[in-house]
Structure 1
Amino acid sequence: MESLFTALPLLATQGFCWHGAYVDCRWEPPGAIEEEVSTPWHSVVLFTQFAGSDPALAERSIDGRFKVERVHPGDILVLPAGVGQRSRWNVPGEFMNLVFETAALGRSLDEAADDTTFELMPHFATQDLLVLQLGLALRRVLQGGGDRLYAESLITALAVHLLQTYATRRPEIKTYGGGLARPQLERVVDYIHSHLDAPLSLETLAALAGMSAHYFAQLFKQSTGVAPHQYVIRCRVERAKALLAQPHLAIADIAYRVGFAHQSHLNRHFKRLVGTTPGQWRQAIRS
Structure 2
Amino acid sequence: MANSGVLPVDAVEVMKGSCALCPFPTRSSITSKGAGWKGIAMESFSDIPGVAIPDHEHPTHFVNLLTQGEIKAQWTTEGRSHTATNSPGTIYLLPAGTRDRLTWSGPTTRVVLVMEPGFLSRSLEHTAHLDEIDLTTHWNLRDRHIQSLMLAMHADLEDGSPAGPLYGESLGLTLGLYLIRRYSTRSRSNSLQLTGGMPTARLNRVLDFINQNFAQDLRLWELAELAGMSPHYFCELFKASTGLTAYQYVLQCRIERAKRCLRNPQLSVGDAGVAAGFSDQSHFTKVFRRKVGVTPMKYRSQAG
Q: Taking structure 1 as the reference length, what is the TM-score of the superposition?
A: 0.91
- Work out whether 1:181 is the aligned partner of 2:199: yes
Unaligned runs of 5+ in 2: 1-12, 14-20
Q: What secondary structure, in the 3-state scheme, does the structure 2 residue paired with 1:103 have?
A: helix
For the 8 Å contact 1:56–1:70, the answer to whether it is kept is yes
Change (3 A) 1:43 1:114: farther
2-structure distance, mates of 1:41, 1:16: 19
Paired AA for residue 31 in structure 2 = A
Unaligned runs of 5+ in 1: none
- Work out whether 1:125 is the aligned partner of 2:140: yes
Alignment deviations for residues 227-277 of structure 1 (CA, whole Å, 9 cap, x no partner): 111111111111111111111212122212111233233333323333322
**Partner residue of 1:103?**
118
Alignment of 1:62-77 (within 5 A): 62-77=77-92
Change (3 A) 1:141 1:59: same
1-structure distance, mates of 2:229, 2:286: 32
Structure 1 runs of 4+ off > 4 angstroms? none
Pairwise CA distance, 1:17: 4.9
Paired AA for residue 134 in structure 1 = L
Between 186-195 and 1-10, the greater mean CA deviation after superposition: 1-10
Pairwise CA distance, 1:210: 0.7
- Work out whether 1:277 is the aligned partner of 2:295: yes
For the 8 Å contact 2:74–2:84, the answer to whether it is kept is yes
1-structure distance, mates of 2:25, 2:181: 31
- Work out whether 1:201 is the aligned partner of 2:219: yes
- Work out whether 1:167 is the aligned partner of 2:184: yes
**Partner residue of 2:267?**
249
1-structure distance, mates of 2:151, 2:234: 24
- Work out whether 1:36 is the aligned partner of 2:51: no
Q: Over aligned residues, Cα RMSD in angstroms?
A: 1.9
Q: What secondary structure, in the 3-state scheme, does the structure 1 residue paired with 2:282 have?
A: helix
Alignment of 1:261-272 (within 5 A): 261-272=279-290
Pairwise CA distance, 1:135: 1.2
2-structure distance, mates of 1:123, 1:262: 41
Alignment deviations for residues 43-98 of structure 1 (CA, whole Å, 9 cap, x no partner): 11111111xxxx31111112322211011211111111121111111110111221
**Partner residue of 2:28?**
9
Pairwise CA distance, 1:19: 3.1
**Partner residue of 1:25?**
44
Q: What secondary structure, in the 3-state scheme, does the structure 1 residue paired with 2:125 have?
A: coil
Pairwise CA distance, 1:148: 0.8
Q: What secondary structure, in the 3-state scheme, does the structure 2 residue paired with 1:276 have?
A: coil
Between 236-245 and 106-115, the greater mean CA deviation after superposition: 106-115
Alignment deviations for residues 185-241 of structure 1 (CA, whole Å, 9 cap, x no partner): 111111011002200111111111111111111111111111111111111111111
1-structure distance, mates of 2:36, 2:135: 21
For the 8 Å contact 1:237–1:266, the answer to whether it is kept is no
Pairwise CA distance, 1:32: 1.1
Q: What secondary structure, in the 3-state scheme, does the structure 2 residue paired with 1:87 have?
A: strand
1-structure distance, mates of 2:113, 2:126: 21
For the 8 Å contact 1:103–1:114, the answer to whether it is kept is no
Q: What secondary structure, in the 3-state scheme, does the structure 2 residue paired with 1:161 have?
A: helix
Percent identity over the alignment is 36
- Work out whether 1:93 is the aligned partner of 2:111: no
For the 8 Å contact 2:35–2:165, the answer to whether it is kept is no
Q: What secondary structure, in the 3-state scheme, does the structure 2 residue paired with 1:179 have?
A: coil
- Work out whether 1:60 is the aligned partner of 2:44: no
**Partner residue of 2:232?**
214
2-structure distance, mates of 1:204, 1:112: 19
2-structure distance, mates of 1:111, 1:201: 22
Paired AA for residue 155 in structure 1 = G
